[in-house]
Amino acid sequence: MKQIYTKTGDEGMTSLRDGVRVPKDDPRIEVNGQIDQLNAHLGIVRSMLGPDDANREIIHAVQRELMTVMSHVATPEGSVNPRALHAPEITARLEQAIDAADYQGGFVVPGGGSQLSAFVHLARTQARTVERCLWSLNREHPVASDVLVMMNRLSDYLFVLANEKE
C-alpha cells in the first residue's frame, strides 16, 4: 500500500504545483481548501440526483473544472499549467440550465422542502464563499476572469436547482 503521509507539512508549509513551498495559510492554499469543500458538497448533491437527471452531468462537469481551477490556483506565477480551463463552456451550460428552469422568483428558506434542496443550498453558499475568496486572491495572484464569471453563474445555477428540487 502506498504511504499517504509525507511529513513534509508538519512544520506548517506545503507545496504549490512546481514544488514552491508556501505557508499552509497562504491565500492560494486557503482558496483551494474552499474549492475542495465546494467540490465535496457538489458530490453529495450529485449522489442524491436521480440517474436520469441531466443536472448530474452538469455538476460532474463543474466538479472536473473545479479540479482544474485548483491546479491553476496552485501554479506559481511564471509557471505554465498544462491543464486547459473550460470555464466559458461550463458557464454556457450553467446559463442554459438556468434559462430552462421554471424559476418563479422569490426568497427561499433552505431546509423547508426536500433534503436534496437543503444540500443544494449548502453547495450554493459554499460557491459564494469560493467566489469571494477568488476575488480576494485575484488582488495578489491573478485569477482567470472566465473562472470568476463561472463561479458567479454556478451559485445562480445552484439557487435555481435548489428551488426546483424543493
Q: Are 75 and 17 in contact (CB under 8 A)?
A: yes
Residue segments in the chain with a per-residue pLDDT below the cut of 70: 106-107
Q: Count Cβ neighbours within 10 Å for each residue of 87-107 and write b for 16 or more, e otherwise.
A: beebbebbeebbeeeeeeeee
* pTM as predicted: 0.92
- In a domain? residue 4: no
Q: Are 49 and 159 in contact (CB under 8 A)?
A: no
Give pLDDT, residue 70.
Answer: 97
| Structural domain range at position 42 | 13-164
Q: How many domains does the chain have?
A: 1
Give pLDDT, residue 82.
Answer: 77
Burial of 70 (C-beta count, 10 Å sphere; 0-12/13-18/19+)? buried
Contacts of 20 (CB under 8 A, 6+ apart): 76
Domain CATH code at residue 74 = 1.20.1200.10
- In a domain? residue 136: yes
Cell of 158: 445552484
Give pLDDT, residue 66.
Answer: 98
- In a domain? residue 114: yes
- In a domain? residue 100: yes
For 106-148, write each residue's pLDDT tens digit: 667 777 789 999 999 999 999 999 999 999 999 999 999 999 9
